[in-house]
Amino acid sequence: MKIKKNNFIIKIFLFLIILGNLIVWPYLFSQEFQNRISMLLDYDFNKLLTTGNLFGRNDLTKSNSVGINLQQINNVGYSFYLGQIDYSNSPPIGDDLKNNITQIIYKADFPKRLLSNLAIIIVNTLAITPNEQIITPNGNINVPSFNPNFLTEGGEYNYNPNNFSIIYINSKKIDLLSGTLTHELGHHISRQLTNEEWAKFYQLRNIPNDAPRFLQNWYISPNEDFAEVYKNSFTNLPVKTYFGILESSHKEIIGMSGYTMDQEGPTCSNISNALRENFDKLHPKPKSVLTCNNGSCTESLANSEEFMKYSKAWNEITDHDATLQNCRINVILHQEKYPQDFQGGTPYHSKGIVDQPTKDFIKNIITRLD
């Protein structure tokens, strides 16, 4: 009896403690931690707001991980995954941007079925929190640590082993979206290429067979060149990688001692000089070139119709001479062997446009993947 009575008192005591906790703790939270807690809740809530579909539970292993959900956008026959990484108080992705993205995908002739394992994430790099993960239909993917190039270039393509790729777009570079997104979509296409198709691409772009597909130097990475070619084919924005037809970066329209249109680096100058000799036999120098022997006439000369015609003919020769083009690409790919060619900066750059056979090649790949 005595034991039972004690038990009852203990129960009352425990009840009072629990009741006290129920009243005291919420009070403390509401006073001391209100701002902080509401901020955290808001943050997660905002991330949930970006979702239309929730793919399973957010069973993250790291306790401080935060899941970024994807929204499935359905627009004019296109269906794609979209997400954002931003501050809690940032507005969700608006309809204009959704329409803009759809338009870019459409203009890039991008095969609809390839959108099923791809997401586009708009990123504010300042708002990334540690251990953040993207919740995708194929499982969670870690948000990569972006390097400073992302701030200027504005895009990154990540292929993940679970066969789900993510295109990250820098929200602060959204004005470059057309070029950036088309380039990144090109990376998703390039992942589907067969070895035969890569060999054909190398040939079309005058890339030496032994050049590794992925290189640290963006400008001479064939994989990046494919994305740039894809971009140019659908946006006409210039190719920035150093393949295809290379032209001299050091053009000198005319000099005191005569004329020079391409100032060739020392390594390829013998080839260029021999071409020039042949060219001069077939194309007499314009009168305006012969009479201009001081700096004051160079500007009007450069704009004269006679000179432009002459210059165009010379460019045709240098563009299509395989020996000269091979020499130039060799210098570009093996900078360490030809330091004297790089004294005035990178001696050659891409002509910036893609020729018709390469555009046709891209079209054929898309047809195959459609």
Q: Is 122 in the site for Zn ion (CB under 5 A)?
A: no
User: Closest separation between CB of residue 235 and Zn ion, Å?
Assistant: 14
Pick 139 or 238: Cβ nearer Zn ion: 238
Q: Is 181 in the site for Zn ion (CB under 5 A)?
A: no
Pick 156 or 262: Cβ nearer Zn ion: 156
Distance of CA 191 to the CA centre of its chain: 14
**Between the CA atoms of 141, 147, 150 and 152, what dihedral angle is there, to the nearest 10 degrees?**
170
Q: Which residue is nearest to Zn ion (CB)?
A: 227
Rounded to whole angstroms, the Cα distance separating 80 from 193 reads: 22
Q: Is 68 in the site for Zn ion (CB under 5 A)?
A: no
Rounded to whole angstroms, the Cα distance separating 173 from 250 reads: 31
Q: Find the helix or strand (DSSP H, E) in which 277 lies.
A: helix 269-282
Q: Is 292 in the site for Zn ion (CB under 5 A)?
A: no
- Asked if residues 81 and 70 have their Cβ atoms less than 8 Å apart, the reply is yes
Eight-class DSSP state of 258: B
User: Closest separation between CB of residue 358 and Zn ion, Å?
Assistant: 17
Pick 131 or 149: Cβ nearer Zn ion: 149
Q: Is 239 in the site for Zn ion (CB under 5 A)?
A: no
Q: Is 135 in the site for Zn ion (CB under 5 A)?
A: no
Rounded to whole angstroms, the Cα distance separating 366 from 370 reads: 6
User: Closest separation between CB of residue 223 and Zn ion, Å?
Assistant: 7
What is the Rg, in whole angstroms, of the alpha carbon atoms belonging to the chain? 31
Pick 158 or 304: Cβ nearer Zn ion: 158
Tell me, residue by residue from 217 to 236, as one string, x for binding to Zn ion by CB under 5 A and - for no binding. -------x--x---------
DSSP string, 75-89: ETTEEEEEEEE--TT
User: Closest separation between CB of residue 290 and Zn ion, Å?
Assistant: 47
User: Closest separation between CB of residue 157 and Zn ion, Å?
Assistant: 6
**Interacting residue ranges for Zn ion, rule: CB under 5 A:** 224, 227
